[in-house]
Amino acid sequence: MSTPPDPAVLYPDAAACGSLATALRAVAGGRLDAVPVTSPDSAPLLHATVAGTLLYREPLRISAWSHERRWSVRGEVRFQGMPLIDGRTDDLAEVARAARAWHHGAALEDIRRAASFVHLTGRFEVPGNDPARLTESEWQGMLQEASELEYDWQEAYQALIEAAYAEPALRALYPFTSHWALRFSTTTRPGLTFMGPCLTAGSDGMFGVGRGFITPDLGLFGTAREAVALAVRRLPAGLGPTALGG
């Protein structure tokens, strides 16, 4: 891998200001003057955070790319640490508009309207941390992610997520993935409690069910519905509502 250029070469505007945070204020034309925007001493040209007014949101994280001039943003919900928004752009003024909207507690759709590069992950905000709503939010994020993938096995993976969501017994559990294997928990993040089998979608169009991680020791099936049906049958009896984790 080639050595990245000096950040001051890629980001002379930030270098002239002394930090990405100060460059954001400059390009915002006064609109961020009263907003807490900071950059770390360790990499002031490459990173900045923007504090918000909503306690259940983490500060917006802004990162400059190391090999080309571009910025990424990530805005997370505080309790679970999962992204509500992300996005990338080569327009620092757009980043400043997104930062201002995030700080002021704008609705997610309004943040995207303020800065068109912002991508909504499909998750929605749950200020009271109701576990059933957090579970549904995570399912919505997973369904959207599956529909947006660009891998060869995207269709199979999407079919697996949709088939699992269609089953009430699985939909009531908190979903998560590891190496694109679909797993389930009886508690939400940040403290997951593994439950039931592991489901996988292969590039060969086959769907696996396993007791452990990834290995399909319970069977391989030609359709997602068959794999999901077995997963439902393998669930322990008497599972209660999903609880808060952590």
Q: Which residues pair with 76 in a beta bridge?
A: 83
- pLDDT tens-place string over residues 186-225: 999 999 999 999 999 988 889 999 998 778 889 999 999 9
Q: What is the pLDDT of residue 131?
A: 97
Q: Which residue has the tokens 């925007």?
A: 37
| Residue 142 pLDDT exceeds 90 | yes
User: From CA 97, how far away is CA 118, in angstroms rounded?
Assistant: 10
Instruction: Give percent above pLDDT 90 in the chain.
Output: 89
Q: What is the pLDDT of residue 4?
A: 87
The pTM (predicted TM-score) of the whole model is 0.93
Sign, CA torsion 80/82/84/89: positive
Residue spans of the domains in the chain: they are 7-120, 131-233
- When pLDDT is cut at 50, 70 and 90, the band that residue 153 belongs to is confident
- Decide: helix, strand or coil at residue 183: strand
